[in-house]
Chain A
Amino acid sequence: MSIDKVWVLAEAADGNPVSTTLELLTKARSMAGTVEAVTWGGDAAAIAGTLGDHGATTVYDVGDLGGKLPGPVVAGAVAELIRSGNRPDVMLVPTTYDGRDIAGRLSARLDLPVLTNVVDLQVEGGEVRSQHAAFGGTQIVTARFTGDGPGIFVVRAKSFAAEASGGAAPQVQSISAPDLGATGAATIVERHVEERSGPKLDEADVVVSGGRGLGDAEHYAMVEELAKLLNGAAGASRAIVDAGWVPYSHQVGQTGKTVKPTVYIACGISGATQHLVGMKGSNNIVAINKDQEAPIFSVADLGVVGDVHKVLPKLIEALKARG
């Protein structure tokens, strides 16, 4: 057995591949001789060059979906391609809203298991082993598929560093889904883009996150202001997302996003294992919490035992004064 061909689910937004797509293509190059990509949404022509530059030799394009949700359509097209005899050994899928939908649909369609929340991949003796963070990242679990592939792995962002290979422009081949019947019926009727002034949460150099210690939803504004001053993104603990203070898209943690910024500033976050697993890979961690025993301090490079309501306003003033 050997790993010869890897497919990467290449998600794009605004005419650019999302960063995890390029991370996965880079990893795929080290796993197999042939790396190909699957994309959708009408961006294929725009992103093909970048996909090629990261190792994809062929891009299978499902094309514009006419407002349909991608899950069943992309999974249907990929399953059809596999049934026609074009079959990868491994399929790498980014942990995104649509990536998980596509992986789930594909798994059920092909009756193949799926491994999710992958943080590392290794090829050993012609077989892929995936690694997963467990118990707040204190344990690393290694897993493998026992049956025939293709092996579907859903990989978390920032698990690998993206690196261009200088590859040539790939050939773009159209693929399409068979009749999906009822399963393909969900349709987007309107898109709402919320204004975001800074970088994306999982791509930002600086992430400032808030937790229960902020006391109430209004005080989250301090977290946003600090993030803005540092040209960073604002994150949140699960506790305040559950409480409805901020939307799910801000959540950092096991259920939520993985971030690895240059510096992570945790404000009023105690550091439940659920949160630590999403941020302990940050290069530097600063934590402000009034409880000296808070678990967040066990991973902080600089821990401040103090009241966020006192420290944050002063920090914001000091940074403003510097201009």
Chain B
Amino acid sequence: MNVVVCVKQIPDPAAPAALDAQSHTLVREGKLILDDSDAYGVEMGLQLAAEDGEVTLVSMAPNGEVSGLRTGLAMGAAKAILVSDGALKGSDALSTAKVLAKAIERAQPDLVIAATESTDGYTGTTPVQIAELLGMPSVTFAKKISVANGSVRVERQTEAGYDEVECPLPCVVTVTAGVVEPRYPSFKGIMAAKSKPVDQLTVADLGLDASSVGWAGAGQEITGVAAAEERGAGELVVDEGDAHERIVAFLEQLKLV
């Protein structure tokens, strides 16, 4: 089974994030890393494709960045498709889905896996938009996946517990953290990743009109950014063995005990 895993390269969440003063979009310059949320999808894909298939990573970036993709390749993905084009700058969720859907079609996967949402943009709609554009069914919020007889069986997180969902292949599945334990790339994997193919494509290569992506295709804009109301710190006490009494008194005051 061939699996496409959609991955996103994002600025290191440990580094302070910023908005571009002019365009009000996230500054995505400098080194990008593989979104932590995507490591679960890559691992899941590797396990499902282990017997008779391979994993292809699909990603897009305005600046040709590949360092995050190398992490996924080092984990064991066979190759990557990176759509890289200056025209992609400013793309919203739907235009991102249009680009990724075109790239995914090239790999002709049996299964497409994505994270439930990215860590930086967290719109959480792109995978479902991809499914609709590809004419595929989708199952979101998977906490467990297995494949048998041409269909996928998913335990889908719900408010009350989980649903067991059956869905024929090909389809799109989004995974939550914890679906599997991602492996750490081995030294051998890291070395091998350096020579694995990364197919770099432009918007035109995909047969898409540049006006349907990026700023031109976004259909939405940010009109302002303002500081949120500050929430001040209150009292700070150091526990000397009696701090629990302070908490009880605090709850009493709120009439909660």
Asked if chains A and B come from one complex, the reply is: yes
Query: A residues bordering B, Cβ < 8 Å?
Result: 13, 18, 69, 71-72, 75, 96-97, 100-101, 103-105, 107-109, 111-117, 129, 133-135, 137-147, 154, 181-194, 196, 200, 205-206, 230, 238, 241-244, 247-249, 254-255, 262-263, 265, 274, 280, 284, 286, 288, 292, 297-307, 310-311, 314-315, 318-319, 322
6 pairs of A and B residues whose beta carbons are closest in the complex: A306-B239, A104-B128, A108-B132, A113-B219, A194-B161, A301-B234
What is the size, in residues, of chain B's interface with A at 8 Å between Cβ atoms?
82
B111 at interface by CB-CB < 8 Å: no
A280 to B234 Cα, complex, angstroms: 13
A164 to chain B, nearest CB (A): 23
B148 at interface by CB-CB < 8 Å: no
Chain A residues in 8 Å Cβ range of B239: 304-307, 310-311
Chain B residues in 8 Å Cβ range of A145: 219-220
Chain B residues in 8 Å Cβ range of A101: 128, 138, 140
Q: Is the CB of B181 within 8 A of A244?
A: yes
Instruction: Choose among A141, A230, A248, A288 the residue that contacts B224 (Cβ–Cβ < 8 A).
Output: A141
A143 to B248 Cα, complex, angstroms: 43
Q: Is the CB of A303 within 8 A of B160?
A: no
Chain B residues in 8 Å Cβ range of A134: 19, 225
State the total of A-B contacts with C-beta under 8 angstroms: 277
Which secondary structure characterizes the binding site on chain A? Answer: mixed
A209 to chain B, nearest CB (A): 14
Q: Is the CB of A141 within 8 A of B165?
A: no
Q: Return 15 A-B CB contacts under 8 Å, by A number.
A: A97-B141, A112-B94, A113-B94, A183-B131, A189-B164, A189-B166, A190-B164, A241-B176, A244-B178, A255-B116, A292-B238, A302-B234, A304-B237, A305-B239, A319-B248
Chain A residues in 8 Å Cβ range of B37: 255
Beyond A97-B141, A191-B161, A314-B244, whether A306 also contacts B125 by CB under 8 A is: no
